[in-house]
Amino acid sequence: MQSRGRHHRTAFLVLMRTAWIAVCAAVLVVSGFAWSTVSTISSGVERSYAIPDDAPRSESGRNILIMGLTTRLDLHGEPLPDDVLRRMQAGESDRGGYNANTLILLHIPVSGPAVAMSVPRDNLVPLSSGGEGKIKEAYGRAKVAEEERLQAAGTHDKRTLERAGREAGRRAQVQTVSTFLNQPIDHLVEISLIGFFHIAEGLGGVDVCLKNATKDPLSGADFPAGPQHLDAGQALSFVRQRHGLPGGDLDRTRRQQAFLASVARRLKGADITVVQAMIDTAKQDVVLDAGFDLTEFARNLPTEVRFDTLPVEGGAHIGGQDVNKVDPAKVREKVNELATAPPPPPPDDGVPCID
Protein backbone atom coordinates (compact mmCIF):
# COMPACT_ATOMS: atom_id res chain seq x y z
CA MET A 1 0.00 0.00 0.00
CA GLN A 2 1.30 3.44 -0.83
CA SER A 3 2.39 5.19 2.34
CA ARG A 4 0.99 8.61 3.10
CA GLY A 5 3.21 11.36 4.36
CA ARG A 6 3.41 15.01 5.05
CA HIS A 7 6.54 17.09 5.23
CA HIS A 8 6.89 19.70 7.91
CA ARG A 9 9.78 21.86 8.94
CA THR A 10 11.11 22.55 12.40
CA ALA A 11 11.58 19.26 14.20
CA PHE A 12 10.69 20.44 17.64
CA LEU A 13 7.42 21.89 16.42
CA VAL A 14 6.40 18.70 14.69
CA LEU A 15 6.80 16.42 17.59
CA MET A 16 5.57 19.03 19.92
CA ARG A 17 1.93 18.58 19.10
CA THR A 18 2.19 14.86 19.55
CA ALA A 19 4.61 14.74 22.42
CA TRP A 20 3.22 17.88 24.02
CA ILE A 21 5.73 18.31 26.84
CA ALA A 22 8.62 17.71 24.45
CA VAL A 23 6.91 20.17 22.22
CA CYS A 24 6.89 22.85 24.84
CA ALA A 25 10.59 22.42 25.49
CA ALA A 26 11.34 22.74 21.80
CA VAL A 27 9.12 25.78 21.41
CA LEU A 28 10.87 27.60 24.20
CA VAL A 29 14.28 26.81 22.77
CA VAL A 30 13.55 27.79 19.21
CA SER A 31 11.71 30.87 20.35
CA GLY A 32 14.77 31.97 22.30
CA PHE A 33 13.23 31.72 25.77
CA ALA A 34 15.50 31.31 28.79
CA TRP A 35 16.93 27.89 29.56
CA SER A 36 15.70 28.30 33.11
CA THR A 37 12.16 28.21 31.69
CA VAL A 38 12.91 25.07 29.68
CA SER A 39 14.26 23.32 32.76
CA THR A 40 11.00 23.85 34.65
CA ILE A 41 9.05 21.70 32.19
CA SER A 42 10.21 18.43 33.74
CA SER A 43 9.06 19.30 37.26
CA GLY A 44 5.77 17.75 38.19
CA VAL A 45 5.52 15.49 35.14
CA GLU A 46 4.55 11.86 35.72
CA ARG A 47 7.52 9.57 35.10
CA SER A 48 7.59 5.92 33.98
CA TYR A 49 10.17 3.18 34.52
CA ALA A 50 8.85 1.04 31.69
CA ILE A 51 12.16 1.32 29.82
CA PRO A 52 14.88 -0.22 32.04
CA ASP A 53 18.35 1.28 32.25
CA ASP A 54 19.87 -1.77 30.56
CA ALA A 55 17.43 -1.78 27.61
CA PRO A 56 18.96 -1.82 24.10
CA ARG A 57 19.58 1.68 22.71
CA SER A 58 19.56 3.04 19.20
CA GLU A 59 23.04 3.42 17.72
CA SER A 60 21.98 5.81 14.94
CA GLY A 61 20.33 8.44 17.14
CA ARG A 62 17.30 8.27 19.42
CA ASN A 63 13.94 6.55 19.01
CA ILE A 64 11.02 8.06 20.92
CA LEU A 65 7.74 6.15 21.04
CA ILE A 66 4.76 8.51 21.29
CA MET A 67 1.60 6.77 22.52
CA GLY A 68 -1.85 8.35 22.46
CA LEU A 69 -4.33 6.48 24.68
CA THR A 70 -8.09 6.27 24.19
CA THR A 71 -8.91 6.36 27.91
CA ARG A 72 -11.31 9.02 29.17
CA LEU A 73 -9.79 8.75 32.67
CA ASP A 74 -7.01 10.81 34.26
CA LEU A 75 -3.54 9.52 35.16
CA HIS A 76 -4.89 8.07 38.42
CA GLY A 77 -7.78 6.22 36.78
CA GLU A 78 -10.35 8.74 37.98
CA PRO A 79 -13.20 9.99 35.74
CA LEU A 80 -12.80 13.39 34.13
CA PRO A 81 -15.20 16.14 35.25
CA ASP A 82 -18.60 16.02 33.56
CA ASP A 83 -18.17 19.44 31.98
CA VAL A 84 -14.85 18.36 30.41
CA LEU A 85 -16.38 15.16 29.03
CA ARG A 86 -19.23 17.20 27.58
CA ARG A 87 -16.85 19.60 25.85
CA MET A 88 -14.70 16.73 24.57
CA GLN A 89 -17.72 15.14 22.84
CA ALA A 90 -16.08 11.74 23.31
CA GLY A 91 -18.70 9.88 25.33
CA GLU A 92 -18.74 8.78 28.96
CA SER A 93 -15.67 8.19 31.14
CA ASP A 94 -16.00 4.39 30.94
CA ARG A 95 -15.49 4.36 27.16
CA GLY A 96 -12.25 3.89 25.27
CA GLY A 97 -10.37 1.39 27.42
CA TYR A 98 -6.59 1.58 27.26
CA ASN A 99 -5.83 1.06 23.59
CA ALA A 100 -2.84 2.95 22.18
CA ASN A 101 -4.77 4.33 19.21
CA THR A 102 -1.94 6.70 18.25
CA LEU A 103 1.52 5.19 17.87
CA ILE A 104 4.33 7.28 16.40
CA LEU A 105 8.00 6.34 16.34
CA LEU A 106 10.00 9.55 16.26
CA HIS A 107 13.54 8.89 15.06
CA ILE A 108 16.04 11.65 15.76
CA PRO A 109 19.32 10.80 13.98
CA VAL A 110 22.79 11.85 15.05
CA SER A 111 22.69 14.27 12.11
CA GLY A 112 20.12 15.16 9.49
CA PRO A 113 16.32 15.45 9.57
CA ALA A 114 14.09 13.66 12.07
CA VAL A 115 11.21 11.47 10.93
CA ALA A 116 7.93 10.69 12.70
CA MET A 117 6.56 7.31 11.57
CA SER A 118 2.90 6.60 12.27
CA VAL A 119 2.19 2.92 13.04
CA PRO A 120 -1.40 1.99 12.03
CA ARG A 121 -3.20 0.93 15.20
CA ASP A 122 -4.98 -2.12 13.72
CA ASN A 123 -1.85 -3.91 12.48
CA LEU A 124 -2.04 -7.61 13.38
CA VAL A 125 1.24 -8.40 15.15
CA PRO A 126 2.71 -10.73 17.80
CA LEU A 127 2.11 -9.19 21.24
CA SER A 128 4.72 -9.22 23.96
CA SER A 129 2.28 -11.02 26.25
CA GLY A 130 1.93 -13.88 23.74
CA GLY A 131 -0.30 -14.59 20.77
CA GLU A 132 -1.38 -12.14 18.10
CA GLY A 133 -3.53 -9.05 18.32
CA LYS A 134 -3.88 -5.50 17.10
CA ILE A 135 -0.74 -3.58 17.96
CA LYS A 136 -2.82 -1.00 19.87
CA GLU A 137 -4.03 -3.69 22.28
CA ALA A 138 -0.66 -4.49 23.86
CA TYR A 139 -1.09 -1.77 26.50
CA GLY A 140 -4.62 -2.62 27.62
CA ARG A 141 -4.12 -6.39 27.72
CA ALA A 142 -0.99 -6.11 29.86
CA LYS A 143 -2.67 -3.60 32.17
CA VAL A 144 -5.60 -5.91 32.86
CA ALA A 145 -3.35 -8.93 33.38
CA GLU A 146 -1.13 -7.09 35.88
CA GLU A 147 -4.08 -5.75 37.87
CA GLU A 148 -5.63 -9.22 38.05
CA ARG A 149 -2.31 -10.66 39.24
CA LEU A 150 -1.98 -8.05 41.98
CA GLN A 151 -5.59 -8.46 43.10
CA ALA A 152 -5.10 -12.21 43.38
CA ALA A 153 -2.07 -11.49 45.58
CA GLY A 154 -4.15 -9.28 47.88
CA THR A 155 -3.64 -5.74 46.51
CA HIS A 156 -6.91 -3.82 46.22
CA ASP A 157 -6.00 -0.13 46.47
CA LYS A 158 -7.37 1.45 43.30
CA ARG A 159 -4.56 3.89 42.69
CA THR A 160 -1.87 1.27 43.36
CA LEU A 161 -3.52 -1.05 40.84
CA GLU A 162 -3.88 1.73 38.29
CA ARG A 163 -0.24 2.76 38.59
CA ALA A 164 1.10 -0.79 38.37
CA GLY A 165 -1.29 -1.72 35.57
CA ARG A 166 -0.34 1.27 33.45
CA GLU A 167 3.36 0.62 33.97
CA ALA A 168 2.82 -2.95 32.76
CA GLY A 169 0.89 -1.56 29.79
CA ARG A 170 3.72 0.81 28.89
CA ARG A 171 6.30 -1.98 29.08
CA ALA A 172 4.19 -4.21 26.87
CA GLN A 173 3.51 -1.49 24.30
CA VAL A 174 7.18 -0.54 24.09
CA GLN A 175 8.27 -4.18 23.73
CA THR A 176 5.60 -4.96 21.13
CA VAL A 177 6.43 -1.95 18.94
CA SER A 178 10.17 -2.48 19.36
CA THR A 179 9.94 -6.11 18.25
CA PHE A 180 7.58 -5.37 15.35
CA LEU A 181 9.77 -2.58 13.96
CA ASN A 182 13.04 -4.25 15.00
CA GLN A 183 14.05 -0.95 16.60
CA PRO A 184 15.17 -0.18 20.16
CA ILE A 185 13.03 2.36 22.00
CA ASP A 186 15.08 4.95 23.87
CA HIS A 187 12.25 7.06 25.31
CA LEU A 188 8.48 7.09 25.59
CA VAL A 189 5.87 9.82 25.73
CA GLU A 190 2.32 8.92 26.72
CA ILE A 191 -0.61 11.28 26.29
CA SER A 192 -4.27 10.49 26.90
CA LEU A 193 -7.29 11.71 24.96
CA ILE A 194 -7.79 14.67 27.27
CA GLY A 195 -4.25 15.79 26.39
CA PHE A 196 -5.18 16.38 22.76
CA PHE A 197 -8.17 18.36 23.97
CA HIS A 198 -6.08 20.49 26.33
CA ILE A 199 -3.55 21.24 23.60
CA ALA A 200 -6.24 22.57 21.27
CA GLU A 201 -8.00 24.40 24.10
CA GLY A 202 -4.81 26.06 25.26
CA LEU A 203 -4.13 27.32 21.75
CA GLY A 204 -7.65 28.63 21.24
CA GLY A 205 -8.36 25.98 18.59
CA VAL A 206 -6.60 24.88 15.42
CA ASP A 207 -6.88 25.64 11.70
CA VAL A 208 -7.47 22.85 9.17
CA CYS A 209 -8.66 22.49 5.59
CA LEU A 210 -10.84 19.72 4.13
CA LYS A 211 -11.30 18.84 0.48
CA ASN A 212 -14.82 17.55 1.17
CA ALA A 213 -17.56 18.10 3.73
CA THR A 214 -17.85 15.25 6.24
CA LYS A 215 -20.14 14.13 9.04
CA ASP A 216 -19.75 11.30 11.53
CA PRO A 217 -22.05 11.07 14.56
CA LEU A 218 -19.79 8.53 16.29
CA SER A 219 -16.92 11.00 16.65
CA GLY A 220 -19.01 14.16 16.57
CA ALA A 221 -17.33 15.31 13.35
CA ASP A 222 -19.47 17.69 11.28
CA PHE A 223 -17.30 19.85 9.05
CA PRO A 224 -17.84 21.70 5.76
CA ALA A 225 -15.32 21.65 2.94
CA GLY A 226 -12.56 24.24 2.85
CA PRO A 227 -10.36 26.01 5.41
CA GLN A 228 -11.84 26.41 8.89
CA HIS A 229 -11.04 27.04 12.53
CA LEU A 230 -11.92 24.29 15.03
CA ASP A 231 -12.41 24.78 18.75
CA ALA A 232 -11.02 22.19 21.18
CA GLY A 233 -14.04 19.88 21.06
CA GLN A 234 -14.19 20.00 17.27
CA ALA A 235 -10.44 19.38 17.05
CA LEU A 236 -10.81 16.24 19.14
CA SER A 237 -13.63 15.05 16.86
CA PHE A 238 -11.38 15.82 13.90
CA VAL A 239 -8.52 13.60 15.12
CA ARG A 240 -10.92 10.81 16.22
CA GLN A 241 -12.95 10.51 13.01
CA ARG A 242 -12.50 7.39 10.90
CA HIS A 243 -16.04 6.57 9.78
CA GLY A 244 -17.08 8.25 6.54
CA LEU A 245 -13.49 8.65 5.33
CA PRO A 246 -12.31 6.91 2.13
CA GLY A 247 -9.30 5.32 3.84
CA GLY A 248 -10.99 4.72 7.19
CA ASP A 249 -8.50 4.44 10.03
CA LEU A 250 -5.52 5.22 7.80
CA ASP A 251 -7.13 8.54 6.86
CA ARG A 252 -7.52 9.24 10.57
CA THR A 253 -3.73 9.03 10.80
CA ARG A 254 -3.50 11.81 8.22
CA ARG A 255 -5.88 13.90 10.31
CA GLN A 256 -3.72 13.44 13.37
CA GLN A 257 -0.76 14.63 11.34
CA ALA A 258 -2.75 17.64 10.07
CA PHE A 259 -3.70 18.47 13.66
CA LEU A 260 -0.06 18.37 14.72
CA ALA A 261 0.97 20.58 11.82
CA SER A 262 -1.71 23.11 12.78
CA VAL A 263 -0.50 23.14 16.39
CA ALA A 264 3.01 23.79 15.14
CA ARG A 265 1.87 26.77 13.07
CA ARG A 266 -0.03 28.29 16.00
CA LEU A 267 2.76 27.75 18.52
CA LYS A 268 5.30 29.39 16.28
CA GLY A 269 5.66 32.86 17.69
CA ALA A 270 3.30 32.24 20.62
CA ASP A 271 3.72 34.50 23.64
CA ILE A 272 5.64 33.02 26.56
CA THR A 273 2.67 33.41 28.91
CA VAL A 274 0.54 31.29 26.56
CA VAL A 275 3.24 28.63 26.31
CA GLN A 276 3.75 28.54 30.08
CA ALA A 277 0.01 28.16 30.68
CA MET A 278 -0.12 25.24 28.27
CA ILE A 279 2.90 23.63 29.94
CA ASP A 280 1.15 23.79 33.31
CA THR A 281 -1.99 22.22 31.85
CA ALA A 282 -0.05 19.55 29.95
CA LYS A 283 1.62 18.21 33.05
CA GLN A 284 -1.59 16.53 34.14
CA ASP A 285 -1.94 14.68 30.81
CA VAL A 286 1.56 13.44 29.97
CA VAL A 287 3.87 10.64 31.10
CA LEU A 288 7.58 10.55 30.19
CA ASP A 289 10.12 7.82 30.84
CA ALA A 290 12.40 8.48 33.81
CA GLY A 291 15.49 8.88 31.64
CA PHE A 292 14.06 11.52 29.30
CA ASP A 293 16.15 14.67 29.82
CA LEU A 294 14.06 17.39 28.18
CA THR A 295 16.72 20.07 28.44
CA GLU A 296 19.26 17.93 26.62
CA PHE A 297 16.56 16.87 24.16
CA ALA A 298 15.63 20.46 23.35
CA ARG A 299 19.27 21.49 22.91
CA ASN A 300 19.92 18.83 20.25
CA LEU A 301 16.78 18.86 18.11
CA PRO A 302 17.34 18.79 14.34
CA THR A 303 16.01 21.60 12.18
CA GLU A 304 13.86 19.42 9.94
CA VAL A 305 11.36 16.61 10.45
CA ARG A 306 8.93 14.75 8.24
CA PHE A 307 5.87 12.57 8.80
CA ASP A 308 5.09 9.29 7.11
CA THR A 309 2.84 6.29 7.70
CA LEU A 310 4.26 2.77 7.73
CA PRO A 311 2.79 0.42 5.08
CA VAL A 312 0.15 -2.28 5.41
CA GLU A 313 -0.60 -5.10 2.97
CA GLY A 314 -4.37 -4.85 3.13
CA GLY A 315 -7.34 -5.55 5.37
CA ALA A 316 -8.68 -8.81 6.78
CA HIS A 317 -11.49 -9.96 9.06
CA ILE A 318 -10.10 -12.24 11.76
CA GLY A 319 -11.79 -13.35 14.96
CA GLY A 320 -14.69 -10.98 14.38
CA GLN A 321 -12.40 -7.96 13.99
CA ASP A 322 -11.13 -5.92 11.07
CA VAL A 323 -7.34 -5.89 11.10
CA ASN A 324 -4.46 -4.74 8.92
CA LYS A 325 -2.30 -7.49 7.45
CA VAL A 326 1.36 -6.50 7.45
CA ASP A 327 4.65 -7.83 6.14
CA PRO A 328 7.16 -7.18 8.96
CA ALA A 329 10.09 -7.32 6.55
CA LYS A 330 8.59 -4.58 4.36
CA VAL A 331 7.72 -2.47 7.40
CA ARG A 332 11.26 -2.71 8.77
CA GLU A 333 12.68 -1.91 5.35
CA LYS A 334 10.49 1.21 5.26
CA VAL A 335 11.64 2.25 8.73
CA ASN A 336 15.27 2.01 7.68
CA GLU A 337 14.54 3.87 4.44
CA LEU A 338 12.81 6.74 6.24
CA ALA A 339 15.56 6.98 8.84
CA THR A 340 18.19 7.55 6.16
CA ALA A 341 16.20 9.52 3.54
CA PRO A 342 17.42 12.97 2.41
CA PRO A 343 15.82 16.14 3.83
CA PRO A 344 12.33 16.99 2.49
CA PRO A 345 11.69 20.12 0.43
CA PRO A 346 10.57 23.22 2.35
CA PRO A 347 6.78 23.13 2.95
CA ASP A 348 4.23 25.70 1.91
CA ASP A 349 3.24 28.17 4.62
CA GLY A 350 -0.48 27.70 4.05
CA VAL A 351 -2.85 25.11 5.53
CA PRO A 352 -2.89 22.08 3.16
CA CYS A 353 -6.27 20.50 2.47
CA ILE A 354 -6.79 16.80 3.19
CA ASP A 355 -9.59 14.32 2.44
Q: Looking at the predicted structure, is the pLDDT value of residue 250 above 70? A: yes
pLDDT of residue 124: 96
Share of the chain above pLDDT 90, in %: 34
d(CA 225, CA 235): 15
Mean pLDDT across the stretch 84-107? 73
Please determine, for residue 260, whether its predicted confidence score (pLDDT) is greater than 80: no
pLDDT in tens, 158-184: 999 999 999 999 999 999 999 999 999
Distances (CA, A) of 28 to 38, 39, 101, 294: 6, 10, 28, 11
Nearest to 197 by CA among 270, 284, 121: 284
Alpha helices of the chain — where are they, by DSSP H?
A: 11-19, 21-30, 35-39, 82-88, 137-152, 158-181, 193-202, 232-240, 249-267, 272-282, 294-299, 328-339
| CATH of segment(s) 5-203+258-339 | 3.30.420.590
Would you state the pLDDT for residue 14? 37
Using alpha carbons, select from 124, 89, 139, 350 the residue that is nearest to residue 241: 89
Highest mean pLDDT out of 124-128, 194-198, 251-255:
124-128
pLDDT reading at 28 higher than 50: no
For the chain, the structural domain boundaries read: 5-203+258-339
pLDDT at 342 over 80: no
- Which residues share a beta bridge with 102? 68
Residue with the bigger pLDDT between 198 and 4: it is: 198
Q: What is the residue type of 256? A: Q
The pTM score is: 0.81
